[in-house]
Amino acid sequence: MPATGSPPRPLPGQSMIALLSVVVGPLFWLGSLFLLIFGPSSWRERATFAIVVAPPATLLRYFLSKRLNPLSKRFPIGTYTANSLAVLVFAVMALLARNPRSPLGCAALRGVQDGFCGSLSTISTLVVEVRGLGTGDSYRYLIASWIVSMALFTVVLGPWVWSDDRGPLCWER
């Protein structure tokens, strides 16, 4: 039995799974990158851009959480930052999508929204962290997240929405 305070022993096969993840994960990412570059153009809009940009966003979210969440036990700053950054990037991509230069550019913008922003901000992480906070802290965290998200959308997309030039986004055409 391990001594008190020592890290738990890995389960049988856990080290092999971790090794496979480290080796196979990047290989699949490279495969999706090659598919994006050399695959049929009809796939680009639907999936390949999102597949290529999602893993870097997941890693960014992980590192933000590991680096910033320990700064406060009552407010997960890393996850808050990741979610707020995802909202900002999503809004900027929507703004850029009103006047794309090409169908490929439109597919790339949509891929960033679906893949990068979707992986950077996950509701599951938010729910886990809210459940770990006290009642008052969880309400403060949720309200702050909502207010900042709405403010970012309003600042970035508000002028476009309120203008008379509100054409559809490139994927709505």
Q: What is the mean pLDDT of residues 20-46?
A: 75
Q: What is the mean pLDDT of residues 36-62?
A: 79
| Six token digits for residue 25 | 């994960």
- Residue 73 pLDDT grade (very low, low, confident, very high; cuts 50, 70, 90): confident
> How far is residue 66's CA from residue 46's CA, in Å, rounded to a whole number?
32
Quote the crossing angle between the two packed helices 135-162 and 123-132, to the nearest 10°.
Answer: 150
Q: What is the mean pLDDT of residues 82-92?
A: 93
Give the position of tokens 């930052």. 81
Examine the pLDDT at 8 and tell me if it is beyond 80: no
> How far is residue 152's CA from residue 89's CA, in Å, rounded to a whole number?
10
Examine the pLDDT at 38 and tell me if it is beyond 70: yes
Question: Quick one: pLDDT at residue 7?
Answer: 67
Examine the pLDDT at 99 and tell me if it is beyond 70: yes
- Residue 11 pLDDT grade (very low, low, confident, very high; cuts 50, 70, 90): low
Range in 38-47, 107-116, 118-127 the model is least confident about? 38-47
How many Cα atoms sit within 13 Å of 85 on the Cβ side? 18
73 touches 81 (CB < 8 A)? no
Quote the crossing angle between the two packed helices 49-68 and 14-38, to the nearest 10°.
Answer: 140
Instruction: Count Cβ atoms below 10 Å from residue 112 Cβ, excluding itself.
Output: 23
